[in-house]
Amino acid sequence: MCHNTGQPSFEMQVEPNGAGPPAEGEGSGLYALVIYVPEPLCTFLDDLRLELVPGGNPHAHVSVLPPRPLPVAAWAAIQEARGIVAGFAPFEVQLGGIEKFDVTDVIYISVTRGGDQLRQMHAALNRGALAFAEPFDYHPHITLAQDIPPERVEPLLDLAGRRWRENPGPRAFRADHTMFVRNTGDNWVDLAEGPLRAAPVP
């Protein structure tokens, strides 16, 4: 379900960027920073994800910081993230085609515009209290299907490509705020927003 204050829980990928062991005293110990996809694109992507892999509670997003444990209290990490994110200007994210990560067989939509900004944000954030040794290089994308039986990967890849080509709606959105989220076991819940406040460069 697309983001609203009445439905804060959603399903989020932990691949291809992976996650580490729980941090003591922090429940599951996993936190992430995401940019939600707004309507109407969000509903299309969530519906497509449910068609490819039924079940769950998807919420289309781009991960800026993939799931990770924290060495500090969540509030301290949130303050650090907010300060860094505020130094970035809002930007447009343009989506490309349907692709697949070879190592994990995760099916995703690529990012063709806005990827540089996302990588810059990730590099700025992945340090200090937010640092984590990620097992994969950061690759901006929107996950559509994961944990797929090997024999289903190619058929689902074809189906996703067909549905995406048939989509009459927008393929871009404005990224103007992030959301710090925490894993509760089966879902993720919103903790705090972080607006992008810098003025765009002419």
User: Could you please report the per-residue DSSP string of 6-55?
Assistant: T---BB---TTT---PPPTTSTT--EEEEEEPPTTHHHHHHHHHHHHS-S
CA distance 178 to 37: 10
- Longest pairwise C-alpha distance within the chain: 49
In this prediction the pTM is: 0.87
**Residue 40 vs residues 37, 43, 93, 161: alpha-carbon distances, Å:** 9, 6, 14, 19
**Any idea which residue has 């024999």 for tokens?**
151
CB 58 within 8 Å of CB 75 = no
- The pLDDT-based confidence of 179 (bands split at 50, 70, 90) is very high
Sign of CA dihedral 19, 78, 42, 120: negative
Question: Mapping DSSP to helix (H, G, I), strand (E, B) and coil, where does residue 147 land?
Answer: coil
Q: What is the pLDDT of residue 202?
A: 61
CB 191 within 8 Å of CB 181 = yes
Q: For the segment 8-53, what is each residue's pLDDT rounded down to a tens digit?
A: 444 444 434 333 333 333 345 899 999 999 999 999 999 999 999 9
CA distance 181 to 190: 5
Q: For the segment 43-74, what is each residue's pLDDT rounded down to a tens digit?
A: 999 999 999 999 888 999 999 999 999 999 99
Q: Which CATH architecture has domain 31-195?
A: Alpha-Beta Complex (3.90)
CB 23 within 8 Å of CB 70 = yes
Question: Mapping DSSP to helix (H, G, I), strand (E, B) and coil, where does residue 137 land?
Answer: coil
Q: End-to-end CA distance of the chain: give it in Å, rounded.
A: 36
